[in-house]
């Protein structure tokens, strides 16, 4: 009988998976308790959209975090974070077509092609779909160098989502602009000269000291977990 082997995850990877799934559980919890404001469909749309955007930005931030702080573990969570962003974007889209528009194809077509925010959101969703579909090792091998080029489109998806967000907000656009500034900063850090400068930061004495304290804290935390589980007989 074929055995399913689960990948071995580090504690950091596990924490990222739990952190990425937590909003889903909170959403289901609030839904079952009727705790989704007086307009639950809109609340579901807004929350899933926000989760997708935050996870997308976190996945974009992985490479710069490694460049600046030399924290290599973060590279292992880049792909899962991107897939979680796609996952929440899919729920977001399903809520839009199913709950908001009751799968009415005529109305949906009208909304997507006539509401500019829906159109750019849809374009971003299609990019995320293509990236999620080709994110496996098999596709990486099959596409070779094209894979790298294709996956740079994640930045375009990020920019489209920001435009989507700016166009939906009717009055105060400070929050979407703040997210936009983050996406632009992460994009700027891909420019070789800036990336080189950023990579020097990890050699600063202050950053090294911070890395040392963080590693110490993390080791102490892990040791305390181990002692607690030994004491409780787990």
Q: Which residues bind ligand HEM (CB under 6 A)?
A: 42, 45-46, 49-50, 52-53, 56, 85, 89, 92-93, 96, 118, 121-122, 124-125, 128, 161, 164-165, 168
The alpha carbons of the chain give a radius of gyration, in whole angstroms, of 21
Q: How far is the CB of 51 from ligand HEM (least distance, A)?
A: 8
Nearer to ligand HEM, 67 or 164 (CB): 164
| Residue number, 44 or 77, with CB nearest to ligand HEM | 44
Shortest distance, position 184 Cβ to ligand HEM, whole Å:
16
Least Å distance, CB 200 to ligand HEM, is 32
Q: Which residue's beta carbon is nearest to the bound ligand HEM?
A: 49
To ligand HEM, the closest distance from the beta carbon of 162 in angstroms equals 8
Nearer to ligand HEM, 68 or 157 (CB): 157
DSSP secondary structure letter of residue 11: H
CA dist 219 and 190 (Å) reads: 32
Distances (CA, A) of 51 to 28, 151, 220: 14, 21, 31
Q: Which is nearer to ligand HEM, 27 or 161 (CB)?
A: 161
Which residue shows structure tokens 């976190």? 58
Sequential DSSP letters for 159-226: HHHHHHHHHH--S--HHHHHHHHHHHHHHHTTSHHHHHHHHHGGGSHHHHHHHHHHHHHHHHHHHHHH
**CA-closest candidate to residue 60, choices 193, 192, 180, 201:** 180
- Rounded Cα distance between 192 and 129, Å, is 28
d(CA 155, CA 184): 9
Shortest distance, position 171 Cβ to ligand HEM, whole Å: 12
CB 192 to ligand HEM: min, Å: 27
* Between 50 and 190, CB nearer to ligand HEM: 50
Q: In the complex with ligand HEM, which residue's Cβ is closer, 68 or 125?
A: 125
């Amino acid at each position: 009988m074929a055995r399913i082997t689960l990948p071995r995850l580090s504690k950091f990877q596990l924490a990222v998976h739990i952190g990425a799934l937590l909003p889903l559980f909170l959403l289901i919890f609030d839904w079952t308790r009727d705790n989704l404001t007086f307009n639950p469909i809109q609340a579901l749309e807004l929350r899933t959209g926000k989760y997708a955007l935050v996870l997308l930005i976190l996945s974009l931030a992985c490479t710069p975090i490694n460049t600046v702080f030399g924290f290599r573990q973060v590279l292992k969570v880049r792909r899962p974070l991107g897939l979680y962003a796609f996952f929440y974007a899919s729920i977001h889209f399903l809520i839009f077509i199913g709950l908001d528009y009751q799968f009415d194809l005529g109305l949906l077509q009208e909304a997507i092609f006539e509401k500019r925010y829906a159109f750019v959101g849809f374009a971003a969703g299609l990019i995320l779909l293509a990236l999620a579909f080709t994110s496996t090792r098999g596709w990486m091998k099959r596409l070779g160098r094209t894979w790298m080029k294709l996956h740079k489109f994640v930045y375009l998806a990020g920019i489209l989502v920001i435009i989507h967000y700016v166009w939906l907000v009717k009055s105060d656009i400070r929050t979407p602009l703040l997210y936009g500034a983050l996406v632009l900063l992460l994009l700027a850090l891909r420019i070789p000269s800036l990336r080189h400068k950023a990579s020097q930061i990890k050699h600063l004495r202050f950053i090294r000291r911070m890395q040392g304290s963080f590693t110490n804290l993390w080791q102490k935390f892990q040791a305390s977990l181990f002692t607690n589980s030994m004491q409780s007989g787990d």
